[in-house]
Structure 1
Amino acid sequence: MSEATGFSGRRSVASNANGTETELDTPKRAIDTNGKVFDVPDYTIKDILSAIPKECYKRDLWWSLHYVVRDIAAIAVIGYVGTNYIPVWFPSSALARTAAYMVQSYLIGLFGFGLWILAHECGHSAFSDSNLVNDTVGWVLHSWWMVPYFSWKFSHSKHHKATGHMTRDMVFVPYTQEEYLEAKNKSKVAELMEEAPIVTLFNLIAQQIGGLQLYLATNATGQPYPGVSTFFKSHYWPTAPYFDAKDYWYIILSDIGIISTLTVNYLWYRAFGAHVVLINWFLPWLWVNHWLVFVTFLQHTDPTMPHYDAQEWTFAKGAAATIDRNFGFVGQHIFHDIIETHVLHHYCSRIPFYNARKATSAIKDVMGKHYRYEGENMWKSLWKVTRSCQFVENNDGKDGVYMFRNGNKIGPEPIAGN
């Protein structure tokens, strides 16, 4: 196999004390989208968990709740000040008022996504030691941002159990080369039309605005489930194929949460008008949708990132198929470090975010070169990843390691017919 495309594990020879030669397996390798060698991790989940200090697992209910109070207070203050004082500050300029309202909605959306992350902590039982508290807080916060709490909790748990698995992972499951060709109605890699930047931009905007709701409603980017119609793959449908029979009434409760939010917003509109709901909930809701797709897409998609088939995948390998990035002050203090400590989160999701940096430092020593971190501007990364990570291919059709490729002539050429 040429290094321009990829290569798998090799055999090496070692001699024992008697001079007898024996063959040893070396870790499997591949060539990533940047043209660099990727070595498949060879440590175990036990190695990772043994390195994490025990105090990192401690969950403090009151400390967790104070973040909820903080984020809600920030949203309330921003909403009150903006709604009541922007007309006073800009009485004669509709353009200035509009710009100020956009800033108001943007800021509410930041803290709104912070609340979403705290609900996500609840779904992983990282918020407190009480399942009742976790599910109550999580249901309220997720429902407010139109995410069905239990539905998300159950499918997201399966995502964590099979991250990077080509046929079991639940979200951001990449196209194979064959699926990509079929979607493009092409028959050969050479016929892949280079995607114009304007097309990439259009697709990116659509993904950021509508990606979350499309996933919830249709399971887009999830497993295909042949023979199941789109409607019955929805996160709102209690017998969707990724739910268990015991989940039925929890899914109904999730739907009740969504209906409750719509009802509250309708009553809010009737009492105060559409403008107040628009700037204080609807536009921030769009921002929350954007941030969720922005963050999760970049946590699970990168030119250096592998996917595995059933024979090659292990939990330790799959959890390493994630990446930490840096979003500065907002990432650490408003988004609760979900961006900066996501690799650790996939190894042990019960560790609360406020202990995750210490735990991340501990597992870095075990992961070594397999720990992924990218410190460049995340907006730059978003463009780069979208252009370069269009589908995955297996190096030689049998080694079980899949790396991203594209039809934009970025990195190694795809292997024709693979």
Structure 2
Amino acid sequence: MACTLADSLLLLMGSHQKPAQRRNIAARYSPGLCNINRDGLILKGFRNQRHLIPRKKVTVIQAVAVPVAPAPSPADSSEYRKQLCESYGFNQIGEPLPENVTIKDVIDSLPKKVFEIDDVKAWKSVLISVTSYALGLFMISKAPWYLLPLAWAWTGTAITGFFVIGHDCAHKSFSKNKLVEDIVGTLAFLPLIYPYEPWRFKHDRHHAKTNMLKEDTAWHPVWKEEFDSSPLLRKAIIYGYGPFRSWMSIAHWLLWHFDLKKFRPTEINRVKISLACVFAFIAIGWPLIIYKTGIMGWIKFWLMPWLGYHFWMSTFTMVHHTAPHIPFKYSDEWNAAQAQLNGTVHCDYPQWIEILCHDINVHIPHHISPRIPSYNLRAAHKSLQENWGKYLNEASWNWRLMKTIMTVCHVYDKEENYVGFERLAPEDSYPITVLKKVMPDHA
């Protein structure tokens, strides 16, 4: 993903000029970013490169080709990966996973106990979410106006825990009883206005085709053709993938979960049942909230926590699968083990977030096998660290990590993975320029 520059450099000399002196070429670079100093350029490869030829007569010397061992890839250098960590806000960037490693190899290395469902632990997570959500609503009702943002942050995080419970139900890792899982999953998603079955069908495809360019149903880079299609859409994309990216899951929720055309005929009946449940909650729940507390009460008690949930939904999703060094690939180039182990990010968040969100950010083992219950993810991750540790991408949530994602990871490019909006449309990329200025640069 090194920066793409011209493959050749031609310097023309006048007939009376002295031969050019050799100059040092030096530059620091990282995938998706390119810094060029005043003394030289980073060149990508040497094919078709032209040489300096003075205009006076020269003597041709025939050279003998000597086989030379290929230089190691920059990605194979620990020092290079360390520089990327500092640049991107990561704790560790994993080494490339060998081609012969399969997803089965990784699954087989995990202890069998991490796949076991424990009903007590499962219902304990429900108790934590219900209690923390009730506490959040109580805080909203009692907090003075200047403390409401803190109450909303807590309550939005608490109902994100509801999503994680439904998430476990969808992956059949909550209960051994499928009917119980469907009921709990549907109820857990209702306060979020998420239709359970449409989300489950879509999410299963995300796991089957993680970081596959066209098939992954989670987020992926912007297509250049889409970016260039119209000035209005371009500006919307720049704002959506820039300053509003922490709430982009709202657009994703609307586009993906309510359109019956996006589902197979065998899925339609279950999708319709979920949609009916969601619309029933809206028809009964919202008027009841408004009747008891008024429109401002609906905003305070439902809308603001819901926006808090979508902040985490968006943030978690983009952190788990988005970094300048993590490629999206076409299906014929895709490798399951590389995408799930080497292309998924583990991120540590503050402890209260981890507790309320049931360790959903211990995300690599979840992509190795979605059947691992959320309460076993840490044990599974410890096993992965012991057996596959050098291949893992790990971070702690920080400003630099978010800044990298929001200001660099934009339009898909096969060579670089991502090209920033500023390079393609500098005149429209003022929101990205502002983000670079106002977002802190420390990890």
Query: Does TM, normalized by the shorter one, top 0.5?
Result: yes
Task: In structure 2, give the amino acid aligned to 1:406.
Answer: G
Q: Which position in structure 2 is the counterpart of 1:213?
A: 250
SS of the residue corresponding to residue 221 of structure 2 reads coil
Hey, what's the Cα distance between the residues in 2 that align with 1:170 and 1:349?
16
Secondary structure at the residue paired with 1:39?
coil
- 2:180 is equivalent to residue 159 of structure 1: no
Partners of 1:406 and 1:318 lie apart in 2 by: 22
Change (3 A) 1:365 1:182: farther
Partner of 2:54: none
AA aligned to 2:206 is H
Aligned to 1:308: 329
CA 1:365/1:392 → structure 2, altered by over 3 Å: closer, same or farther?
Answer: farther
Residue 49 of structure 1: aligned partner: 107
Residue 375 of structure 1 deviates from its aligned partner by 2.3
Query: Structure 2 regions of 5+ residues with no counterpart?
Result: 6-30, 32-43, 46-71, 88-92, 425-443
TM-score, with length taken from structure 2: 0.70
Aligned match of 1:405: 419
Aligned residues of 2:190 and 2:281 also touching (Cα < 8 A): yes
Taking the aligned partners of 1:333 and 1:347, their CA distance within structure 2 comes to 22
Deviations 1:327-367 (A, max 9, x none): 1213321111111x111111101101111111112223443
Counterparts of 1:212 and 1:146, CA distance in 2 = 13
CA-atom RMSD, angstroms? 3.5
Q: Which runs of 5+ in 1 are unaligned?
A: 9-25, 87-96, 186-192, 220-234, 396-401, 411-418
Q: Is the 8 A contact 1:305 1:404 kept in 2?
A: no
Q: Which residue number corresponds to residue 174 of structure 1?
A: 221
Partner of 1:115: 162
- What is the alpha-carbon distance in structure 2 between the residues aligned to residue 296 and residue 212 of structure 1? 9
* Contact 1:74/1:111 (<8 A) preserved: yes
Shift of 1:102: 2.7
Measured in 1, the distance between the counterparts of 2:403 and 2:231 equals 21
Deviation at 1:177? Answer: 4.6
Shift of 1:44: 0.8
Cα 1:279/1:394, change in 2 over 3 Å: same
The 2-side partners of 1:3 and 1:204 are apart by 22
Report the alpha carbon displacement of residue 153 of structure 1 after superposing the two structures with TM.
0.4
* 2:181 matches 1:137: no
Give the whole-Å Cα distance in 2 for the aligned partners of 1:294 and 1:41: 30
The amino acid of 1:79's aligned partner reads L
- Residue 149 of structure 2, aligned match among 96, 102, 111: 102
The 2-side partners of 1:101 and 1:346 are apart by: 36
SS at match of 1:157: helix
Could you say which residue in structure 2 is the equivalent of 1:259?
279
The residue type equivalent to 1:268 in the other structure is I
Residue-by-residue CA offset, 1:93-137 (whole Å, 9 max, x unaligned) = xxxx21123322221111111111111111111111121111111
Deviation at 1:176, TM superposition (A): 4.2
Distance 2:3 2:418 in 1: 15
1:294 Cα offset (Å):
1.1
Matching of residues 4-153 of structure 1 within 5 Å: 34=84, 39=96, 41-42=98-99, 43-83=101-141, 85-86=142-143, 97-153=144-200
Map 1:192-341; keep pairs closer than 5 Å: 204-209=242-247, 211-219=248-256, 235-238=257-260, 240-241=261-262, 243-262=263-282, 263-319=284-340, 320-339=342-361, 341=362
Tell me the CA shift for residue 28 of structure 1: 12
Alpha-carbon distance change, 171 to 385 in structure 1, aligned in 2, over 3 angstroms: same
Cα distance change on mapping 1:77 and 1:404 into 2, 3 Å: same
**Equivalent AA in structure 2 for residue 258 of structure 1:** V
Counterpart CA distance in 2 for 1:325 and 1:183 is: 36
How many residues in Structure 1 have an aligned counterpart in Structure 2? 348
d(CA) in 1 for partners of 2:343, 2:153: 31
Cα shift at 1:260: 2.2
How high is the sequence identity, in percent, across the aligned residues? Answer: 21
Rg larger for: 2
Q: Does 1:391 align with 2:405?
A: no
In structure 2, what is the Cα distance between the partners aligned to 1:254 and 1:55? 33
* Cα contact 2:94–2:390 (8 A) shared by 1: no
* C-alpha separation in 2, matches of 1:203 and 1:28: 29
SS of aligned partner of 1:392: strand
Q: What secondary structure, in the 3-state scheme, does the structure 2 residue paired with 1:246 have?
A: coil
Counterparts in 2 of 1:306 and 1:183: CA distance versus 1, 3 Å: farther
Taking the aligned partners of 1:173 and 1:355, their CA distance within structure 2 comes to 28
Q: Distance in 1 between matches of 2:216 and 2:140?
A: 42
Letter in 1 for 2:381: T
Contact 1:143-1:254 within 8 A present in 2 as well: no
**How far apart in 1 are the matches of 2:95 and 2:4?**
13
Contact 2:245 2:406 in 1 (8 A): no
Q: Per-residue deviation at 1:148?
A: 1.1
Aligned to 2:405, the other structure's residue is in SS state: helix
CA distance in 2, matches of 1:202, 1:179: 14
